[in-house]
Structures are given as structure tokens and as C-alpha cells.
Chains A and B, each alone.
Chain A
Amino acid sequence: MTHPITLESAGGEYMESVVVVEWTKKPGEAVAEGEVVVVVETAKAASEIPAPHSGYLQEILFQPGEEADIGSVLGRIGDEPSASASAPAESAAPAPKAADDTPAPAAPSAAKGGARVVATPLARRVARERGIDLHDLRGTGPRGRIKLRDVEAAKAAPKPAAAAPQESAGPIRDAVPVVFLHGFGADKTAWSRVVPLIDRAVTPILIDLPGHGASDVGAIARFDDVVEAVAAELDDKGITAAHLVGHSLGGGVALALCGLGRIAVHSLCLIAPAGLGPEINGGFLDGMANARSAETLEPWLDAMTGDDFALQSGYARTVLRQWQARDTQKTLAEMAEGLFPGNTQSMRLVSVLADLAIPAKVLWGLDDRIIPSAHAFSASAGVGLHLMKGAGHVPHMEQPALTARLINELARAG
């Protein structure tokens, strides 16, 4: 199956249209979820769009220099390194030399965005296992064949600097991954400002909570069932150990996962988490679920941030369009009613936090208008408290550098 790379994945930068600056992958190349796959330029700045799914870049629909509207599908990621991957005409490698003058009918081997790589089965296998792109290697075997020794050499040699310096072209990431769990009403793109700043040694895994983003799972009204669904998704992804980062509702889920014992949690970073007290901004929950126009949604989205941070104009309109495309608000209403009945947080997780024996931090914006920052003080003495001046409910969007630094500290310690 294929996974569209849409402009809605652009995270914080929402505009009416963008210009594609460059693709960091060629068709046919492997790409990991969360890795930058295409850079687009908004009126304000260049923005990196992470891959929504791991797989192989299959199709590029907008070439560099072309303008794409919000909501456009920029390209597609396939689960398999498809032989039919269509290379863009301009960047297609020289076609295989025809042995005769007869025009070849559809040439199945011409694909994969470049000359066919000649490599031994062993070299291919080892490169695949280590995430090394054979296109980057020079073969030293007969007729330029790439052999195991060439793959071994590539591993030893430092990678040439990639175009986007903070992004890796897929080095080996064998450390315990960091799993990110977003908050109520958001989706995994909420982390787009933090993920590029995470240590390259660790793999970021971005999860869409049930009923949110591109999750296959619909509305779930019981908190324990939400936790169970996330645990099941981690199981499916083969994740048995992780550093957990959770925001708001996702923070509550992360904390509950620590108590569940299904995966080995190496460290925990909670950002304005749910579950540490009863209060939550009911107007925000209702507004999110019921706003039918950008004008009525915008004030509630603004409520997420502190005074120092303004969401971009057009943000509310884009969010609403995405929600309407997926009927998200009905799901949000159902979940809000179950998780926060009577505008009260139903999940009670203070004792789980008190029992934690792993490195853990709680981050909270002092200007949080959704969940009071005072909840932070229910954390036990073994947990690090980081109260962030000037930040509201979404420090990972408002102060991504500091947030990423604190997450990195935990990932290194755990």
C-alpha cells in the first residue's frame, strides 16, 4: 500500500500554498517515518516535511520550483521498494543503454530513480539491515559491482554532509527509540519542531492517538482502552523498549504505559500531562469539538499557547479543513465526553508517577491555559520539574529547542 505525503503534514507552518524546494530522497530510496523527505518554502521560511510513514519514496508529484496548495499530495511512500516507482522525468538517470534501436516497451528495470545498482546479494542484505543506501556507494568488484567490503567501508567512513545538516540520510539508529504521543485534538505532526532536534542516534517514532490524525482506530471513550490501543500499536511496530514523550492526553497515556509494563520504558518526558489533577479547560474541549468555522476555532487554538507566541494566520482554517476531511470533530466530541466527563479529567495517575523508578521529567508552561501548571507539583521528588516561562500548553511548539534538549538528556541518561 502507499502513504501520501501531504502538505497537511507540514506541522506548524500552515499557509495557503508552498513552493517545493527540494526532495531529500530519490524515488526508490528508503525513508523512515519522521525523517525529512521534502523541503517546501512558505512565504515565511523553508519548512521540512517529515515522512508520514516508513517505506520507500515511490512517487514525486511536485518537482522543485513547483507550487502546491495546502492539502495537496506532494508524493507517495510505498511499503515495498516498488519496481514501478516512477522517477521524475528531469532527475531520471540515463536510461539503460538500449542494445538495439527498437524502442523498449515499458522497461521494468529502468525505475528506482537512478541507474540500476549492481551489488551482490550479501551486500544488498547487509546494506538493507544497516540502512545504507547502495546508490551512495562505489563498487570495487568486477565491473563496479558493490561487494560486502564496500558496504563495510561505507559504514566506517563518515557520511558526507547531507544537504539539510540537522537531518540524517539514514545512519544506523540502533539505540532505544523515542516514542512521541501528542495531545487531545492534535496529531503526530505536532512534534515537527522538536523531532529535527532530537539526537541522531535515536529513532523518533511518532504515533497518532486513536481517533486522531491518520490513526486507523476510531473514537475510544475509555482512557484505559486508549492506553491499550497505543500499547497494541507499539506491539505491532515491534517496539519492546522506548523512551516515552507525551503531551497532555498523550502524557497521561505515556504515564499509564509505564504502569502497564507492556514495554520497557527507559525514560519518561511528560509535557503538561493529563492525569495529575481534575481540572481541565472545558471551554477549550467544547470549542475544539464544536467550532464550525475558522473564526470560532481560532480563539481556542490560541488558548493553547502563552502570550508570547502567536499561531500563524491560516492555521485554524487548515486545521479545520483537515478535521472536516476526516470527520475528526465528531470523534473529538465522543472522546472528550468519555475522557473528560463534565470537564473533569477521568484518569488519575499521580500514584503511577510516584512509583516510577526511571529517569523522568515533567515540563510545564507557566502560562498554560488548558491544564493548570500547578498539577506539576503533584510529581514526586524523583521527577525533574521544568517550569517554562512564557510557554503555554504547547511548549514543544513554543520552545522546541529547550524541549528537545530536555528530551535528549533523558534519552542519553536512560
Chain B
Amino acid sequence: MALMRYAEALNAALREEMTRDPSVFLFGEDIGRYGGVFKVTRGLQEEFGFNRVRDTPISEQAMTAMAVTAAMTGTRPVLEIMYADFMPLTLDALVNQASIYEYIWNGQVKMPFVLRTQGGGGAGAAAQHSKSLDSMVAHIPGIKVVAPSTPADAKGLLKSAIRDDQPVVFLEHKLLYNMRGEVPEGDDVLVPLGAASVTREGTDVSIFATSRMVHESLKAADALAERGISAEVVDLRSLKPLDLNAIKKSIAKTNNAVVVNEGWNFCGYAAEISATIMDFCFDDLDAPVARVTMPDMPIPYSEPLEMAVLPNAEKIVAASLQTLA
């Protein structure tokens, strides 16, 4: 085990996969000479050369279309989109190309590319640089969506994503890049796509969380424990494919569910998980499923206002208590 930051873990994953497979290459805005705005690609251009770590102009739509064709023709591109807020520019390539080519060409092409991006609020980055658009990409059939919450998962999931033959959107969180954590060493330590992780076991209420909200949920679980309530925190990790068994197993134990996601509430990722719980766990529920999400509004620049609207541990505690009322 090595203690490293989330950004360093991602960097290690990229380095290991580029070393292992010469067809893996990176491109994106400011990722080469500058090492990326969050320093995830630091040192890789020096190590692997300009050909495999390419700086691009500000042109997300063209970059994503490039990734699609590169993947179709036998390489494994890893594209960085600097902010998740710019994901709408990538959508045509995702919705009309990447997600369906394998299908419409009857399996004659594979689409092994990874689109890395980062989102989330809490950094005072305001309405154009703080969004979580998880549901927008998770909505597309044929695209996998991953959101690691720890350095270990960041490394293990990114390696799995690069090796996967389907397009994977890899959602990082800007407030997690500096988080330190133990990361298992070894080139082949992978975290499989489609597997949730029970971060904290409990018996009274299941909190299903994604990305940074896992850490807010853990804080909430501590606060609930002080009230004698045992909360289980499940880190979904793979937003899609979803680990339905982990959800069913947890609810069978606790009979109560709170879903936490930093995206907007309406048609959001938490709404999908809530509906899935009602589809598959209805007779195990002893209360309506509660959601803790971002209200349907722009993210304010003002720090007090931003803190007021983002989901946090306090709101998760309140939702859990309401569920158990």
C-alpha cells in the first residue's frame, strides 16, 4: 500500500496503463506541457512524448469525435474534458456515435475510449464550473459511467475503464483531488466496473451515495451514530452499470433508503436510483425513499449561498431521521 492523493492515483493509473499498452494515448486541453489544471497528467508528456500526450485547442466537440474515430481504428484514447460543465459539447459524439456504433455495425467495431472529466461544487467556481451532470451521461444506453470517491478506487477504476471495450465516462470531483488515501500497489490491482462498495456497515438505514457525497454520508453516519442510529453507507462507484444486488442486499437489511447525489433533483441520478429501489425492493421498504440532491437551480458564486444549496452531511442526517420517523 502507498499513501497517495486522488490526483496522484489517477496519474499512476495512466502511467501504468500507457506503459502496459502502447495503444493508450491521452489528449485534452492543457494536459501536456502544463500537466492538466488539476495536475492529473503531470510528467506524462515528458515520459511518453508529444505523440502520446497531446494538447488540443478548446474544441470539445471535435475532440470527442476524434476519440470516437481513434477508438474505432484500434487505439485506446483517454480524453480529458476539463470541466463536466462542458460535457454538453461532447453529447453528439456520445449519443449519436460512441454509444451506438458497435450496435449498428453489428459488433464489427469496438469503442474502447475513456472520457475523463471533473465536476462538483464547493470550490467557489460558480454556475459554469461546478455542475454534476451525472444523469445526463448515465441516461445514454451504451455508455458506462464511473465516479470514484477514494484514491484507491480512482486508480483501480481508471485502469479498468481504460481496458474496457466500451466508452466509459469517468467522473472525478474537484474537491477530491487532494484527498489522501492508501492505494494498493501493483499494475494489476483493478476495481471492477459495476461493483458498489459498502463503505460503512449499518442496520437502520442505507445511504446510497456517489463521489464526494460518500464522504458527506460518512460524516452523517457518524452524527447518526451519536443518536443511536446505525447507518450503512454504500458507495455506488459505478453509476452505470449499477450494482443492483448491493442495493437489494442493503435494503433487505435496513428497510430504509436515502439516496445522495450532487446533481440536480429533477430527473436526476438520485431519482433513477429511487425508482429502481421501488421497482426491486418495494416490499422491503418501511418508508418512502428519501433523496438528498442539489435543488433545481444554478449554483451560486457566493460561498454562503453555495454551501446552503449543496447537499451535505447535515441534510443527509435530516433525511435519514425523516425516513426513520
Chain B residues positioned under 8 Å from A125 (CB to CB): 283-284
CB of B255 within 8 A of CB of A142, answer: no
Shortest B319–chain A CB gap in Å is 13
CB of A122 within 8 A of CB of B325, answer: no
A215 interfacial contact with B, CB 8 Å: no
CB of B284 within 8 A of CB of A121, answer: yes
A120 interfacial contact with B, CB 8 Å: yes
A7 interfacial contact with B, CB 8 Å: no
Shortest A164–chain B CB gap in Å is 33
Chain A residues positioned under 8 Å from B285 (CB to CB): 120-122
Shortest A128–chain B CB gap in Å is 9
Which residues 78-125 of A have a CB within 8 angstroms of B? 120-125
Contact flag A141-B283 (CB < 8 Å), given A122-B255, A148-B255: no
Chain A residues positioned under 8 Å from B325 (CB to CB): 141-142
Most buried by A among B282, B284, B287, B325: B287
Q: What's the Cα separation between A120 and B284 when bound, in Å? A: 9
Which residues 270-299 of B have a CB within 8 angstroms of A? 282-287
Q: What's the Cα separation between A120 and B324 when bound, in Å? A: 12
Chain A residues positioned under 8 Å from B287 (CB to CB): 120, 141, 147
Shortest A126–chain B CB gap in Å is 9
**A141 nearest CB neighbor, chain B only:** B325
Which residues 59-84 of B have a CB within 8 angstroms of A? none
Q: What's the Cα separation between A288 and B325 when bound, in Å? A: 65
Shortest B321–chain A CB gap in Å is 11
Chain A residues positioned under 8 Å from B282 (CB to CB): 121
Contact with A along B253-273 (1 / 0, CB 8 A): 001000000000000000000
**B282 nearest CB neighbor, chain A only:** A121
Most buried by B among A121, A123, A147: A121
Q: What's the Cα separation between A122 and B283 when bound, in Å? A: 5
Chain B residues positioned under 8 Å from A124 (CB to CB): 283
For chain B, the count of residues having a C-beta within 8 Å of the partner chain is: 9
Shortest A127–chain B CB gap in Å is 11
Main secondary structure of the interface of B (DSSP, over half): loop
**B284 nearest CB neighbor, chain A only:** A122
Q: What's the Cα separation between A122 and B284 when bound, in Å? A: 5
Shortest B178–chain A CB gap in Å is 41
**A119 nearest CB neighbor, chain B only:** B286
Q: What's the Cα separation between A200 and B5 when bound, in Å? A: 66
Shortest B282–chain A CB gap in Å is 5
Shortest B325–chain A CB gap in Å is 5
Which residues 125-152 of B have a CB within 8 angstroms of A? none
Which residues 120-150 of A have a CB within 8 angstroms of B? 120-125, 141-142, 147-148
Q: What's the Cα separation between A313 and B224 when bound, in Å? A: 73
Shortest A189–chain B CB gap in Å is 37
Q: What's the Cα separation between A142 and B323 when bound, in Å? A: 9
Contact with B along A316-344 (1 / 0, CB 8 A): 00000000000000000000000000000
Chain B residues positioned under 8 Å from A148 (CB to CB): 255, 286
Q: What's the Cα separation between A120 and B285 when bound, in Å? A: 7
Shortest B122–chain A CB gap in Å is 32
Which residues 23-46 of B have a CB within 8 angstroms of A? none
Q: What's the Cα separation between A122 and B288 when bound, in Å? A: 11
Shortest A316–chain B CB gap in Å is 52
Q: What's the Cα separation between A121 and B283 when bound, in Å? A: 5
**B251 nearest CB neighbor, chain A only:** A122
Q: What's the Cα separation between A123 and B283 when bound, in Å? A: 8
Contact with A along B186-225 (1 / 0, CB 8 A): 0000000000000000000000000000000000000000
**A148 nearest CB neighbor, chain B only:** B286
Chain A residues positioned under 8 Å from B255 (CB to CB): 122, 148
Shortest B5–chain A CB gap in Å is 43
**B287 nearest CB neighbor, chain A only:** A120
Q: What's the Cα separation between A125 and B283 when bound, in Å? A: 6
Most buried by A among B286, B287, B322: B286
Chain B residues positioned under 8 Å from A123 (CB to CB): 286
Shortest B216–chain A CB gap in Å is 24
**A149 nearest CB neighbor, chain B only:** B286
Shortest A40–chain B CB gap in Å is 38
Chain A residues positioned under 8 Å from B286 (CB to CB): 120-123, 147-148
Q: Given contacts A147-B286, A148-B286, could you give 7 more A-B pairs where the C-beta distance is less than 8 Å?
A: A120-B287, A121-B282, A121-B283, A121-B284, A125-B284, A141-B287, A148-B255
What would 5 A/B residue contacts be, using CB atoms closer than 8 Å? A121-B283, A122-B255, A122-B283, A124-B283, A148-B255
The 8 A-B pairs of least Cβ separation, nearest first, read A122-B286, A125-B283, A120-B286, A148-B286, A121-B282, A121-B285, A121-B283, A122-B255
List chain A positions with a Cβ less than 8 A from chain B: 120-125, 141-142, 147-148
List chain B positions with a Cβ less than 8 A from chain A: 255, 282-287, 322, 325
